[in-house]
Amino acid sequence: MDIAKIKRPSKDLVEKVREVGAATASATLAHMGIRNCHMVGPVARMAGAVIAGPCVTLQMMPKREDLFEEGEYADVEKQLHRHVLYQAEEGDIVVVDARGDMSSGIFGDMMMTYFKGLKGAGVVIDGCVRDWTKVQKLGIPMWLRGVTPNYHAQTNLMPLAVNVPVACGGVTVIPGDIIVADDDGAVCVPVAFADEMLKKAHKDHGWEEFSREKLFAGESLRRYYPLHKDAWPEYEAWLAARGKKE
């Protein structure tokens, strides 16, 4: 089976993307002209989880019986949802284009136990998983549309390809892209734009901690969000007092 290998970005770059979070990454990419990076539909199933990592991808398609006839355990090595996990390494995120289908459980307890053993970072599925009572106990950060009792190809879908471009939540995701996900949702950061996104994020949002303090103290929203040019000297003095640099 010929499955492409992904090129993984540096761990340092991935960690910096994780630190900015989904909302800042999404807003900054939008300011850069990349408007469609939030995967709409999958929502956080583990409150407070914040992850980032390179992605391996699985493409599900509407079932065609001449292309997929196997049952749940018949000739399991033909079942490509296994092979996307074979491609995963520590720190990777599995992204699945499950077409928003609510009746196919792409992975279940055993598959996710294997992924947990690999030390994968998390899973983003435009669809569902099954065995939720057991899966949630694994502590794997997941962004899903929901859960179902059905296995992956029981109803409408079949796995068609691994490590190909997919559409997840209305976003084109390329294998190896950096995914950053938290309670706000899952965002795809193209590796080619990651460095520029980080630079712009720190430049555009570096003042937010200062502004947050002012707003919490009841100061003017007009003056401190976004930071008005007249308030910039206050921010610079605030930075200097903390030994920081803009």
Residues 152 and 226 in one domain: no
Residues 190 and 218 in one domain: no
For residue 186, being part of any structural domain is answered with yes
If one counts the domains in the chain, the total is 2
Residues 134 and 23 in one domain: yes
- Indicate the SS3 state at residue 151: strand
DSSP category for residue 150 = S
pLDDT of res. 244: 64
Residue type at 41 in one-letter notation: G
Residue carrying the six token digits 């499950």: 98
Residues 28 and 146 in one domain: yes
Please check whether residue 38 is in contact with residue 169, taking contact to mean a CB–CB distance below 8 angstroms: yes
CA distances (Å), origin 135, targets 2, 142, 154, 184: 30, 10, 19, 22
Residues 35 and 79 in one domain: yes
pLDDT of res. 246: 57
CATH code (residue 119): 3.50.30.40
For residue 187, being part of any structural domain is answered with yes
Please check whether residue 93 is in contact with residue 131, taking contact to mean a CB–CB distance below 8 angstroms: no
Beta bridge partners of 187: 38, 180
pLDDT of res. 4: 93
Residues 153 and 214 in one domain: no
Range of the domain at 231: 206-241
Residues 96 and 120 in one domain: yes
CA distances (Å), origin 161, targets 110, 124, 147: 21, 16, 22
Measure the CA–CA gap between 27 and 37, rounded to whole angstroms.
9
For residue 246, being part of any structural domain is answered with no
Residues 42 and 127 in one domain: yes
Measure the CA–CA gap between 201 and 32, rounded to whole angstroms.
10
User: What is the model's pTM?
Assistant: 0.89
Beta bridge partners of 161: 59
For 207-226, letters b (16+ CB in 10 Å) and e give beebbeebeeeeeeeeebbe
Residuewise pLDDT in 10s, the chain (246 residues)? 689 999 999 999 999 999 999 999 999 999 999 989 999 999 999 999 999 999 999 999 999 888 876 665 567 777 789 999 999 999 999 999 999 999 999 999 999 999 999 999 999 999 999 999 999 999 999 999 999 999 998 999 999 999 999 999 999 999 999 999 999 999 999 999 999 999 999 887 779 899 999 999 999 999 999 999 999 999 999 999 987 665
For 76-103, letters b (16+ CB in 10 Å) and e give eeebbbbbbbebbeebbbbbbbbbbbbe
Residues 66 and 116 in one domain: yes
DSSP category for residue 105 = B
Residues 178 and 142 in one domain: yes
Closest CA to 199 of 16, 12, 7, 58: 16
β-strands 142-144, 122-125 pairing: parallel
The two three-digit tokens of residue 231, written as one number: 């308030």
